[in-house]
């Protein structure tokens, strides 16, 4: 067998492995209901329920922020985030959470939010905060 | 009815718009002329098409400069009637940020790209000799495509391109624009996003765009070579340009990484954000291309791979600008732009250059000089080829994962990006890095064509053992051994690459100096990997926090230790081996700086003391926090404000209107103490001592008569090691009793002298002092995070060394180009015609 064919086969094998690993590592956008039935982390898209309390009091705990979010199916759930309250959180239009359900609360490890730019309604700013542990490599 | 608007400065905009149209027209003209020039038989030609093509390109360059001048004029004079000026600048912005406001928006980014392509085109007109016509066809085509991006033509409801000279009143619909005097109401622009107000904003975008723009040159040479059937000749002149692209694009990307590292807004120097990934697709592929181009030049092998990678790298430039500019990454990226209506134009951009690539490769397939013979297993060319393939595979993985939103849009799926993309990327990319670093090491011991196998194995092994020893030391000293096994392997291979190339460099200095460029480049790459690995792998949050109310046991269990700590003003807290104190805050321009004292305490002694000044900028209705860093040779320590009650974004009018009544509400319920001179009272944060009574207390604006009594209580407050003096006054004037409280802001106290309880003498008597202290939440505080990044300097040093390596290689490859005699230029074409 020619060497170039061997190299070719190896390359194709790695390429396929990469594609499979890409596909298997992608997660899903789900609802809170999906989160309740799942043990792994997933993304939940929704919006902030502005009528309920956003709780953050640095003097009591600088790393505890909780709020209520409605997912795209209309289900509401309390969300807990281990960090400071992100800037302009109240103004967010859409939130994408990454995390998992634990005992009736959704523990978010990452919050990505879209805020309307203050002056123009047609532009959205996206910001992300993450509470990932530092040794994540 | 047309409204006549007052106070607008329309001339620079109209002039600018004229230049945009002129530049587009000139590029199109140049494209056509160069095309005919390239089709001509050089020997018979009078060069008139060539000359017209040049004129077109020069006109395009002049028009681009004109646009730049107009736009800068508008920004510099704060003409907020222009949407671009209003969106990205404001009056108080310093001049150097106004310069960078130029490329704050997408249109400005395109202008930069446009400008650099014009510059490169002029260099080619000057240098390319016989290649000029076919190469300039691609350059002019690029200018045409880029020209459409800023054209700003409105055709019915569709528009082509987005012009930076768009007027505010045309950009937005609002009732205010019915008013002829609307400009009187627009006092200021929105200003620059606070996180962009950084000196890197001035230097990073132009470098990055030069890098991206420069990838067109190897692409142009490759297309010219295929088109004109000068298959082998295009490689040699393209190599220096490809190296230049690698060098500049690499520098631009690393500048971005440095900026991200410094501002900490994106979690370290590399966060695998889709936009960051998109910027290295073309770089990885071009680096791979350079290697196989060199292989082809030296041995004649790997022609197809070299051509394909060269062509693809520029297609990927378009793909990466599509990713970051089309808004498609909306849900997965922090710093992608939103769509400004260029989505389909960007898609067309990709298609144009991809179509050229595919067409040329297929139509010329049978004529390509592809060798039938295999490379020898122990030859340098074979392993360089393998390395290039692995670089390509690593890029493929990045593209596949980064493009998840694109797959969703194309196939209607609803995949979400990985929940922990950083981990995913780190592991997979590290595996590729193992192979690439290993190859960049042992391939140095191989020769082109054939190698003495026995000697090769001995040297490889000797250096591998040597590298393993160093790795063991490094891994143990830095704590990398605690990480995943793959990262340890990367470390070994990276160090191996450094020592192997170190040997080549040593040999090169002794004799074959022309080999030094690649050795230096590879050493830089190895060090870069080492630095990235240690720094990202062993970074450590120092501000560990185990306190905090237990809202739920589960939460506490999962999240401890948490990463933010709370610091009240002037109350020291122990953080790791440091004692930290939030001392004060000052406002300098737009920045609100916080002074934080650090004292390193070892064995009870203060061994080191310094102050860090992280700051918070308020602009565009948001806050942006930038850290301050203590740099050591082997690690950097970051301090970053994540939250504070010192600055509020809410209007402050409320508090002032409450008066005395309202003022007391800001404090906890008062505590009264009856004490004598010399006595001590305690309160939550310290003690208060009554030093004495001042019978001659004076009050401003209140004249005292002999019958009036005014006594001041001389109080000393000692709180957290600091001493404050205060003297509240008790006064009897006429028949009324007054007391004048005093505040000690820094200690969060208000003290009132409320009663005198007479004794035998005044000094003997007691007094009543009422102490108001601020509740914990009203005291000034900051919430901060401190992180230590070790050995980051390896990463920066590695980068600089790698760039130097690229530069040395450019010099070498440039020298290798034989000057092209003018007459000979016609010869290849004759050969081609024979083939026909």
ipTM of the complex: 0.76
Mean pLDDT of B206-229: 96
Residues of chain B with Cβ-Cβ distance to A126 below 8 Å are 330-331, 333-334, 336
Rg, chain B, Cα only = 35
- Within chain B, which residue ranges are assigned CATH 2.60.98? 661-778
Cβ distance A63 to B422 less than 8 Å, yes or no, reads no
Of B500, B539, B479, nearest to B787 (Cα)?
Answer: B539
Query: Is B726 strand, coil or helix?
Result: strand
> Where does the pLDDT of residue B777 fall: very low under 50, low under 70, confident under 90, or very high at 90 and above?
low
Cα–Cα distance for residue pair B467/B698, rounded to 1 Å: 79
* B745/B222: higher pLDDT: B222
Of B468, B654, B247, B272, nearest to A137 (Cα)?
Answer: B272
Query: Residue B554: what pLDDT?
Result: 54
pLDDT at B360 over 60: yes
Interchain CB contact of B778 with A (< 8 Å): no
- The residue of chain B with its CA nearest to that of A42 is B419
Query: Residue A130: what pLDDT?
Result: 61
Query: Residue B135: what pLDDT?
Result: 96
Q: Which structure tokens are listed for A125?
A: 């700013």
Highest mean pLDDT of the ranges B146-155, B600-609, B656-665, B733-742: B146-155
Give the B window 578-637 contacts with A, CB below 8 Å: 620-624
Give the CA distances from residue B134 to residues B42, B124, B125, in Å, rounded to whole numbers and listed in that order.
Answer: 12, 11, 11
Mean pLDDT of B170-176: 78
Q: How many residues are listed for chain A in this entry?
A: 137
Residues of chain B with Cβ-Cβ distance to A102 below 8 Å are 554, 558
pLDDT at A97 over 90: no
* B132/B653: higher pLDDT: B132
Cβ distance A82 to B562 less than 8 Å, yes or no, reads yes
pLDDT at A133 over 50: no
Question: Burial letters for B219-234: b for 16+ Cβ neighbours within 10 Å, e otherwise?
Answer: bbbbbbbbbbbbbebb
Residues of chain B with Cβ-Cβ distance to A24 below 8 Å are none
Neighbouring-strand partners of residue B781: B568
Cβ distance A134 to B540 less than 8 Å, yes or no, reads yes
Of B61, B56, B53, B74, nearest to B19 (Cα)?
Answer: B61
Query: Residue A104: what pLDDT?
Result: 81
Least confident among B632-636, B686-690, B734-738, B814-818: B734-738
Residues of chain B with Cβ-Cβ distance to A119 below 8 Å are 190
To test the contact with chain A by mutation, choose from B333, B398, B564, B784 the residue with the greatest count of A C-beta atoms within 10 A, namely B564
Average pLDDT, chain B: 84
CA quadruple B541, B547, B550, B555: dihedral, nearest 10: 10
To test the contact with chain A by mutation, choose from B194, B270, B643 the residue with the greatest count of A C-beta atoms within 10 A, namely B643
Measured in angstroms, the CA of A16 and the nearest CA of chain B are apart by 10
Cβ distance B338 to A96 less than 8 Å, yes or no, reads no
Q: Is the pTM of this model over 0.80?
A: yes
Least confident among B93-102, B566-575, B773-782: B773-782
Residues of chain B with Cβ-Cβ distance to A114 below 8 Å are 330
Measured in angstroms, the CA of B337 and the nearest CA of chain A are apart by 9
Cβ distance B563 to A134 less than 8 Å, yes or no, reads yes
Residue labelled with tokens 């074979």: B382
Give the nearest partner residue to B404 out of A15, A26, A62, using CB atoms.
A26
Least confident among B28-37, B140-149, B351-360, B421-430: B421-430
Cβ distance A59 to B540 less than 8 Å, yes or no, reads no
Of the options 2.60.120, 2.60.98, 2.60.40, 1.10.287, the CATH number for the domain spanning B661-778: 2.60.98
Cβ distance B548 to A62 less than 8 Å, yes or no, reads yes
Neighbouring-strand partners of residue B790: B635
Query: Residue B819: what pLDDT?
Result: 65
Residues of chain B with Cβ-Cβ distance to A137 below 8 Å are 422-423, 426, 483-484, 487, 536-537
Q: What is the 3-state secondary structure (H, E, C) of chain A?
A: CCHHHHHHHHHHHHHHHHHHHHHHHCEEEECHHHHHCCCCCEEEEEEECCCCCCECCCCCCCCCEEEEEEECCCCEEEEEECCCCCCCHHHCCEEEEEEEEECCEEEEEEEEEEEECCCCCCCEEEEEEECCCCCCC
Cβ distance A63 to B559 less than 8 Å, yes or no, reads yes
Highest mean pLDDT of the ranges B436-450, B459-473, B660-674, B779-793: B459-473
Give the nearest partner residue to A103 out of B386, B554, B645, using CB atoms.
B554
Cβ distance B422 to A14 less than 8 Å, yes or no, reads no
In sequence order, the 6+-apart residues with CB closer than 8 A to the CB of B830 are none
Cα–Cα distance for residue pair B715/B690, rounded to 1 Å: 5
Least confident among B120-129, B577-586, B770-779: B770-779
Mean pLDDT of B561-574: 82
Cβ distance B558 to A21 less than 8 Å, yes or no, reads no
> Where does the pLDDT of residue B280 fall: very low under 50, low under 70, confident under 90, or very high at 90 and above?
very high
DSSP B512-575: -GGGHHHHHHHHHHHHHHHHHHHHHHH-EE---B--S--S-HHHHHHHPSBS-EEEEBT--EEE
Query: Residue B558: what pLDDT?
Result: 57
Query: Residue B655: what pLDDT?
Result: 41
Cβ distance A82 to B555 less than 8 Å, yes or no, reads yes
Percent of the residues in chain A that have a pLDDT greater than 90, as a whole number = 1
Residue B5 and residue B176 in contact, taking contact as beta carbons nearer than 8 Å: no
Residues of chain A with Cβ-Cβ distance to B623 below 8 Å are 87
* B267/B693: higher pLDDT: B693
> Where does the pLDDT of residue A127 fall: very low under 50, low under 70, confident under 90, or very high at 90 and above?
low
In sequence order, the 6+-apart residues with CB closer than 8 A to the CB of B139 are B57, B117, B120, B121, B124, B216, B220
Give the nearest partner residue to A27 out of B377, B416, B566, using CB atoms.
B416
DSSP secondary-structure letter at B765?
S
Cβ distance A2 to B374 less than 8 Å, yes or no, reads yes
> Where does the pLDDT of residue B679 fall: very low under 50, low under 70, confident under 90, or very high at 90 and above?
confident
Cβ distance A61 to B549 less than 8 Å, yes or no, reads yes
Residue B112 burial (C-beta neighbours within 10 Å; 0-12, 13-18, 19+): buried
What's CA B602's distance to the chain center, in Å? Answer: 37
Residues of chain A with Cβ-Cβ distance to B562 below 8 Å are 62-63, 82-83
Mean pLDDT of B312-325: 94
Residue B167 and residue B82 in contact, taking contact as beta carbons nearer than 8 Å: yes
Mean pLDDT of B573-593: 83
Mean pLDDT of B289-315: 94
Percent of the residues in chain B that have a pLDDT greater than 70, as a whole number = 89
Which pLDDT tens digit goes with each residue over B460-505? 999 999 999 999 999 888 888 888 888 999 999 999 999 999 999 9
Measured in angstroms, the CA of B547 and the nearest CA of chain A are apart by 7
pLDDT at B425 over 90: no
CA quadruple B136, B141, B147, B153: dihedral, nearest 10: 150
Q: Which structure tokens are listed for B834?
A: 């024979």
Least confident among A84-98, B54-68, B196-210, B232-246: A84-98
Give the B window 713-772 contacts with A, CB below 8 Å: none
Interchain CB contact of B302 with A (< 8 Å): no
Largest CA-CA distance found in chain B, in angstroms, rounded: 128
CA quadruple A16, A17, A19, A21: dihedral, nearest 10: 160
> Where does the pLDDT of residue B347 fall: very low under 50, low under 70, confident under 90, or very high at 90 and above?
very high
Residue labelled with tokens 């390319």: B128
> Where does the pLDDT of residue A35 fall: very low under 50, low under 70, confident under 90, or very high at 90 and above?
confident
Cβ distance B397 to A18 less than 8 Å, yes or no, reads yes
Give the B window 522-541 contacts with A, CB below 8 Å: 536-541
Cα–Cα distance for residue pair B212/B317, rounded to 1 Å: 6
Rounded to 10 deg, the angle between the B235-263 and B274-299 helix axes is 150
* A126/B834: higher pLDDT: A126
Rounded to 10 deg, the angle between the B48-76 and B132-149 helix axes is 30
In sequence order, the 6+-apart residues with CB closer than 8 A to the CB of B358 are none
pLDDT at B755 over 90: no
Write out the E strands in B669-765.
671-675, 680-683, 686-694, 709-719, 722-726, 729-733, 736-740, 742-744, 749-757
Residue B644 and residue B593 in contact, taking contact as beta carbons nearer than 8 Å: no
pLDDT at A116 over 60: no
Count of CB pairs separated by less than 8 Å, A with B: 165
Mean pLDDT of A103-107: 84
> Where does the pLDDT of residue B219 fall: very low under 50, low under 70, confident under 90, or very high at 90 and above?
very high
Mean pLDDT of B16-40: 94
Query: Residue B833: what pLDDT?
Result: 40
Cβ distance B777 to A18 less than 8 Å, yes or no, reads no
DSSP secondary-structure letter at B626?
E
Question: In the CATH hierarchy, which top-level class contains the domain A28-130?
Answer: mainly beta
Cβ distance B551 to A2 less than 8 Å, yes or no, reads no
pLDDT at B457 over 80: yes
* B517/B451: higher pLDDT: B517
Average pLDDT, chain A: 76
Interchain CB contact of B397 with A (< 8 Å): yes
Query: Residue B334: what pLDDT?
Result: 64
Handedness of CA B219, B223, B228, B234 (dihedral sign): positive
Strands A65-71 and A76-81 come out as antiparallel
Which pLDDT tens digit goes with each residue over B712-731? 888 888 887 778 888 888 88
Query: Is B445 strand, coil or helix?
Result: helix
Give the ranges where B364-484 is alpha helix by DSSP (H): 380-402, 404-411, 421-442, 453-478
Residues of chain B with Cβ-Cβ distance to A14 below 8 Å are 393
Give the nearest partner residue to A123 out of B338, B374, B377, using CB atoms.
B338
Interchain CB contact of B334 with A (< 8 Å): yes
Which pLDDT tens digit goes with each residue over B795-826? 899 999 999 999 999 999 888 887 655 444 44
> Where does the pLDDT of residue B548 fall: very low under 50, low under 70, confident under 90, or very high at 90 and above?
low
Which pLDDT tens digit goes with each residue over B187-211? 788 777 777 777 888 999 999 999 9
Cβ distance B564 to A83 less than 8 Å, yes or no, reads yes
Query: Is B180 strand, coil or helix?
Result: coil
Of B792, B476, B528, nearest to B634 (Cα)?
Answer: B792
Residues of chain A with Cβ-Cβ distance to B565 below 8 Å are 62
Cα–Cα distance for residue pair A78/A67, rounded to 1 Å: 6
- Dihedrals phi, psi of B374, to nearest 5 degrees: -75, 155
To test the contact with chain B by mutation, choose from A10, A22, A108 the residue with the greatest count of B C-beta atoms within 10 A, namely A22
Cβ distance A41 to B776 less than 8 Å, yes or no, reads no
Cα–Cα distance for residue pair B133/B35, rounded to 1 Å: 7
Least confident among B76-85, B371-380, B556-565: B556-565
* B322/B412: higher pLDDT: B322
Give the A window 21-80 contacts with B, CB below 8 Å: 21-23, 25-29, 40-43, 45, 57-64, 66, 80
Query: Residue A16: what pLDDT?
Result: 85
pLDDT at B576 over 60: yes
Cβ distance B552 to A103 less than 8 Å, yes or no, reads yes
pLDDT at B340 over 80: no
Give the ranges where B642-684 is alpha helix by DSSP (H): 653-656, 659-665
Mean pLDDT of A37-45: 82
pLDDT at B551 over 80: no
Of B279, B283, B264, B258, nearest to B793 (Cα)?
Answer: B258
- The residue of chain B with its CA nearest to that of A5 is B374
Mean pLDDT of A49-71: 83
Query: Residue B763: what pLDDT?
Result: 59
Least confident among A99-103, B329-333, B452-456: B329-333
Measured in angstroms, the CA of A111 and the nearest CA of chain B are apart by 11
Measured in angstroms, the CA of B179 and the nearest CA of chain A are apart by 19
* B420/B792: higher pLDDT: B792
Query: Residue B830: what pLDDT?
Result: 39
């Amino acid at each position: 067998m020619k060497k170039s064919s061997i190299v070719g086969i190896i390359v194709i094998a790695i390429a396929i492995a990469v594609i499979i690993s890409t596909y298997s590592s992608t997660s899903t956008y789900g609802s809170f209901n999906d989160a309740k039935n799942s043990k792994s982390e997933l993304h939940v898209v929704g919006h902030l329920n502005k009528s309920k309390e956003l709780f953050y009091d640095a003097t009591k705990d600088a790393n505890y922020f909780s709020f209520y979010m409605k997912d795209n199916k209309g289900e509401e759930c309390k969300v807990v985030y281990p960090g400071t309250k992100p800037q302009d959180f109240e103004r967010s239009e859409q939130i994408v959470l990454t995390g998992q359900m634990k005992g009736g609360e959704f523990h978010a490890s990452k919050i990505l939010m879209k805020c309307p730019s203050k002056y123009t309604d047609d532009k959205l700013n996206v910001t992300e905060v993450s509470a990932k542990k530092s040794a994540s490599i | 009815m047309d409204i006549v608007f007052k106070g607008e400065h329309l001339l620079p905009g109209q002039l600018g718009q004229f230049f945009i149209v002129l530049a587009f027209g000139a590029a199109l003209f140049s494209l056509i002329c160069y095309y005919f020039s390239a089709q001509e038989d050089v020997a018979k030609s009078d060069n008139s098409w060539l000359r017209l093509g040049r004129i077109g390109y020069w006109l395009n360059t002049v028009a681009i400069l004109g646009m730049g001048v107009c736009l800068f004029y508008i920004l510099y004079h704060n003409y907020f009637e222009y949407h671009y000026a209003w969106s990205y600048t404001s009056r108080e912005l310093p001049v150097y940020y106004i310069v960078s406001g130029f490329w704050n928006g997408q249109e400005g980014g395109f202008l930069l790209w446009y400008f650099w392509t014009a510059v490169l085109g002029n260099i080619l007109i000057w240098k390319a000799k016989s290649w000029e016509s076919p190469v300039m066809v691609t350059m002019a085509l690029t200018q045409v495509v880029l020209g459409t991006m800023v054209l700003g033509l409105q055709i019915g409801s569709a528009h082509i391109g987005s012009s930076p000279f768009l007027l505010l009143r045309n950009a937005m619909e609002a009732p205010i624009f019915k008013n002829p005097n609307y400009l009187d109401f627009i006092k200021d622009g929105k200003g620059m996003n606070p996180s962009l107000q950084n000196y890197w904003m001035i230097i990073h975008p132009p470098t990055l765009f030069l890098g991206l723009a420069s990838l067109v040159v190897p692409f142009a040479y490759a297309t010219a070579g295929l088109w004109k059937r000068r298959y082998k000749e295009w490689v040699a002149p393209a190599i220096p340009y490809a190296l230049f692209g690698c060098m500049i694009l690499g520098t631009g990307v690393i500048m971005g990484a440095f900026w991200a590292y410094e501002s900490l807004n994106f979690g370290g120097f590399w966060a695998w954000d889709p936009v960051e990934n998109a910027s290295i697709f073309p770089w990885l592929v071009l680096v791979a291309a350079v290697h196989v181009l060199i292989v082809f030049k030296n041995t004649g092998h790997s022609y197809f791979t070299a051509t394909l990678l060269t062509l693809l790298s520029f297609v990927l430039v378009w793909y990466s600008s599509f990713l970051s500019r089309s808004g498609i990454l909306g849900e997965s990226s922090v710093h992608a732009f939103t769509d400004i209506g260029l989505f389909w134009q960007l898609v067309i951009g990709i298609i144009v250059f991809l179509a050229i690539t595919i067409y040329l490769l297929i139509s010329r397939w049978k004529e390509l000089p592809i060798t039938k013979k295999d490379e020898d297993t122990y030859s340098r060319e074979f392993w360089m080829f393998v390395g290039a393939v692995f670089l390509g595979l690593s890029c493929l993985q990045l593209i596949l994962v980064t493009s998840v939103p694109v797959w969703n849009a194309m196939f209607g799926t609803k995949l979400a990006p990985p929940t922990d993309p950083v981990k995913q990327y780190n592991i997979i990319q590290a595996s590729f890095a193992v192979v690439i670093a290993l190859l960049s090491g042992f391939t140095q011991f191989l020769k082109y064509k054939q190698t003495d196998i026995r000697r090769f194995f001995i040297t490889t092994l000797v250096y591998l053992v040597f590298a393993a020893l160093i790795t063991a030391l490094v891994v143990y000293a830095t704590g990398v051994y605690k990480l995943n096994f793959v990262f340890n392997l990367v470390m070994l291979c990276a160090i191996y690459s450094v020592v192997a190339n170190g040997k080549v460099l040593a040999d090169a200095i002794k004799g074959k100096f022309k080999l030094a460029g690649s050795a230096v480049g590879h050493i830089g790459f190895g060090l870069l990997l080492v630095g990235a690995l240690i720094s990202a792998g062993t970074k450590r949050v120092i501000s560990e926090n185990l306190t905090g109310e237990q809202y739920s046991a589960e939460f506490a269990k999962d999240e401890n230790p948490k990463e933010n700590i709370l610091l009240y003003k002037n109350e020291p807290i122990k953080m790791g081996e440091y004692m930290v104190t939030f001392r004060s805050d000052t406002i300098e321009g737009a920045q609100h700086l916080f002074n934080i004292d650090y004292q390193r305490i070892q064995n009870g002694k203060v061994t080191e003391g310094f102050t860090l000044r992280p700051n918070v900028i308020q602009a565009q209705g948001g806050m942006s926090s930038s850290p301050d860093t203590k740099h050591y040779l082997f690690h950097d320590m970051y301090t970053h404000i994540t939250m504070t009650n010192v600055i509020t974004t809410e209007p402050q009018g409320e508090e002032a209107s409450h008066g005395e009544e309202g003022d007391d509400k800001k404090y906890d319920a008062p505590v009264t103490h009856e004490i004598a001179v010399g006595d001590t009272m305690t309160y939550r944060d310290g003690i208060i001592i009554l030093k004495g009574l001042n019978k001659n207390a004076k009050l401003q604006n209140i004249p005292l008569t002999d019958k009036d009594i005014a006594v001041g209580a001389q109080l000393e407050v000692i709180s957290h090691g600091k001493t404050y003096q205060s003297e509240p006054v008790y006064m009897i004037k006429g028949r009324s009793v007054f007391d004048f409280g005093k505040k000690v802001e820094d200690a969060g106290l208000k003290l009132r002298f409320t009663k005198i309880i007479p004794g035998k003498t005044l000094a003997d008597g007691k007094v009543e002092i009422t102490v108001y202290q601020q509740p914990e939440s009203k005291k000034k505080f900051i919430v901060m995070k401190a992180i230590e990044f070790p050995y980051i300097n390896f990463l920066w040093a590695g980068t600089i060394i790698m760039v130097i390596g690229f530069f040395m290689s450019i010099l070498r490859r440039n020298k290798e180009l034989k000057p092209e005699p003018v007459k000979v230029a016609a010869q290849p074409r004759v050969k081609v015609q024979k083939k026909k």
